[in-house]
Amino acid sequence: MIDDTTIRAIDTIGMQAVEAIFDALGDVAFFVKDRDGRYLSINRTMVRRCGVRHKKDVLGKTALELFPRALAETYLAQDRQVIASGTAIDKQLELHIYPGRGRGWCITKKIPLFGKDGDVVGLIGTSQDLGLLDDLHPAYRQIARIAQHISDHYRENISLKALAEEAGLSLSRVFKSYVGMSPTEYGRQMKQD
């Protein structure tokens, strides 16, 4: 019979392997958080996003201790939603801090982690950089408005024409080039989640 100490050791070894895989991805931040939003495991990209030198400078802290308040509150609200509902957040377009501390856009996914009793004990997630800094590309603000409008109204019939008029741009092509899917596909994804 395997005892709890062995299981914890296997879990630790497994998490170290996961971290090592994500450490190799320079454009994807990886993190595991507890129910209170404290970072338990991260990769090097997450360290760079936080503007620190070592993982130990992030572990045990919350987003409020590491990021500008407005961004941190958004991340914590997402965490609370995942933990309270037990439901994942997938393909969420959001602002984040890029290495070098500039603001940029990312696609984030957060999945609840369940304990042996079936309760949510934390979450695991990734945040993939989209590449261009917010400060250098004004189309990103328009894309964010579109994504937010879709998120707020996904249960309604949303016309591409109305979205394009609201954003003042050639919607489908620009949105897809930055988000990786069309606004219609993004809306379908929201309905599935």
Structural domain containing residue 186: 139-192
> What would the two tokens of residue 13 be?
């070894």
Q: Residue 65 has what pLDDT? A: 93
Both 59 and 95 in one domain: the answer is yes
Radius of gyration of the chain (CA): 18
Mean pLDDT (10-residue bins), the chain, 193 residues: 42 71 81 92 88 91 89 90 92 73 79 87 88 56 69 71 63 64 72 62
> Which of 107, 131, 155 is the endpoint of a domain?
131
> Which of 131, 147, 173 is the endpoint of a domain?
131
Closest residue by Cα to residue 111 from 27, 8, 182, 193: 193
The tally of domains found in the chain comes to: 2
Both 90 and 170 in one domain: the answer is no
> Which of 95, 113, 131 is the endpoint of a domain?
131
Q: Residue 56 has what pLDDT? A: 94
Both 123 and 153 in one domain: the answer is no
- CATH number for the domain including 99? 3.30.450.20
CA distance 187 to 149: 10
Q: Residue 5 has what pLDDT? A: 45
Q: Residue 55 has what pLDDT? A: 92
Global pTM? 0.66
Q: Residue 144 has what pLDDT? A: 67
3-state secondary structure of 157: coil
Both 95 and 179 in one domain: the answer is no
